[in-house]
Copies of this chain bind each other. A is one copy, B any other.
Amino acid sequence: MNVHLAPGRRTAPDEFDTATRFAVSAAVTDSAVTPMAEFHRWYAGCHDRMGGVGVVPIPFAAMSGWHFEPDTGNLVHDTGRFFTIEGLRVRTDRPWVSDWTQPIIVQPEIGILGILVKEFDGVLHCLMQAKMEPGNVNRVQISPTVQATRSNYTRVHNGTSIPYLDYFRRHPGARVLVDVLQSEQAAWFLHKRNRNVVVEVFDDVPVGADFHWLTLGQIRRLLRMPHVVNMDARTVLSCLPTALAGPVTDCSGDGFAEDVRRSTSGEAEPVHTMGEVLSWLTDIRTTRELIQQRIALEHTAEGGWLRTADQISHQDGKFFRVIAVDVHSAGREVASWTQPLIAPNGPGLLAFLTRRINGFLHVLVQAKVDAGAMNVAEMAPTVHCYPGNYRDVPQGHRPPYLDVVLSAHPGRIRYDTMHSEEGGRFFHAMNRYVVIEVDEDFPVETPPGYCWMTLNQLTGLLVHGNYLNVELRSLVACIQAA
């Protein structure tokens, strides 16, 4: 008799099988479970119901439950939980700016970003939530089934219980399809990670007013619209297994979508072996310097960060500001609250250059060292920057490929949509997500920190944490919607 025992949770028997089932779900771009027309009526209704919430900048002193610590100037919650805003001193070997200080969000707890999936008529559907976050430009966006910090789910702030959370913890009938710790914005967070998890259920699931079942094909349609699918949903979606075992033969998409599917499939022949890619990254992680030292928030003044009654900002007017807001809402765990948020100065640019090499689409990835990184460097989009920060930087120190992207011919742009970053921590933080296909004259030789990879290689790394940064994971979700 064979022994079967699980260390905790059942998982899918075969990742290729799971990938095939998600490929089927991706091909279903409308569904009788939630027809798109109904989705849009419901989503509009959620805006009516939750979107009217007031989000008003207030002086720091008007926050309730938050204060600046007398000794350090760190911005902390009275309970000592949630997160703190402290200072970070960074020393790197970057040529242009090699050391600096900055405010940074410290949140050592690991939260859950979970999507519940269930088959209807043989097709996997994802239970998506319409969620209000104070930092969203449009207040309400589509989020995972569960999006909870540890403080949330251990009830530190005494809110109502979180729907569906138990499916992600100890539900005997559930099956885990994705379960991995992934990093978040390392320019603003110190060593922050969340658990990205997808669980399949087989029993009946009651559907709350803020929730709807959508196929992967429907969600990808929404990914072509600005500010609909939030960052938390995008990162979890990027971790879905997509590497089909064999060639993809039943697709009828246009040329680029078909190239994306082939590059994601097991048939794609990469120009570099995985061994080469991992050795390239190991070399950068070893040789690039990143010394992080936590300091008192008030000591960031040395680096030009100035605190007034209602913001902490840099004297050059660049980077970001720390602000406080007052939120009045009815649809969240607690009815109203105040909190600090990070407000970037202007939108960012996250761009993929893609190119056919040896017959298969490759994407150009950079290894990027950010202030709060846990593992020195992670893979990032070809261009990942806030262009405004470079307005007075000498030409030789502008990010490689930035000007290629900014001057791309419209006929070469395969995807171009604005999306929001996490609205629970960032105020109106948004990035232009762009995918550009360069032609086969474009040089394949790259500067040392760059590497061409197939999408199959890139998504294959997503069962492990800290390889793809959150911006790259978002872009991976986007390119599959192109």
Contact = CB atoms under 8 A, between A and B. Distances in A.
A423 to B, nearest CB: 23
Contacts of A62: none
B176 A279 contact: yes
Given A271-B5, A275-B11, A283 B451 contact: no
Contact of A5 (B7, B195, B279, B445): B445
Counting chain B CB atoms within 10 Å of each CB, which of A11, A271, A278, A282 scores highest? Answer: A282
A276 B7 contact: yes
Interface in A57-110: 108, 110
A334 interface: no
Interface string A432-456: 0000000000001110101110000
Interface string A105-124: 00010101000000000000
Interface string A404-421: 000000000000000000
A19 interface: no
B282 A179 contact: yes
B283 A9 contact: yes
A180 B280 CA distance: 10
Interface in A1-34: 2-13, 15
Given A2-B358, A3-B444, A108-B291, A11 B286 contact: no
Q: Say what secondary structure dominates the interface of chain A.
A: mixed
Interface in A430-482: 444-446, 448, 450-452, 463-465
B11 A276 contact: yes
A358 B272 contact: no
Interface in A385-418: none
Interface string A169-180: 000000011011
A273 interface: yes
Contacts of A12: 273, 275
Contacts of A6: 272, 276
A1 to B, nearest CB: 9
Interface string A344-358: 000000000000011
B357 A280 contact: no
Contacts of A283: 8-9, 179
A268 interface: no
Interface in A176-190: 176-177, 179-181
A415 B180 CA distance: 35
Nearest to A448: B8
Contacts of A3: 271, 357-358, 444
A165 interface: no
A400 to B, nearest CB: 14
A277 to B, nearest CB: 7
Contact of A279 (B2, B8, B272, B276): B8
26 contacts: A3-B357, A5-B271, A5-B444, A5-B445, A6-B272, A6-B276, A7-B446, A7-B448, A8-B276, A8-B280, A8-B283, A9-B276, A9-B280, A11-B273, A110-B285, A110-B286, A179-B282, A180-B278, A181-B282, A181-B285, A195-B286, A197-B282, A278-B463, A278-B464, A374-B374, A464-B464
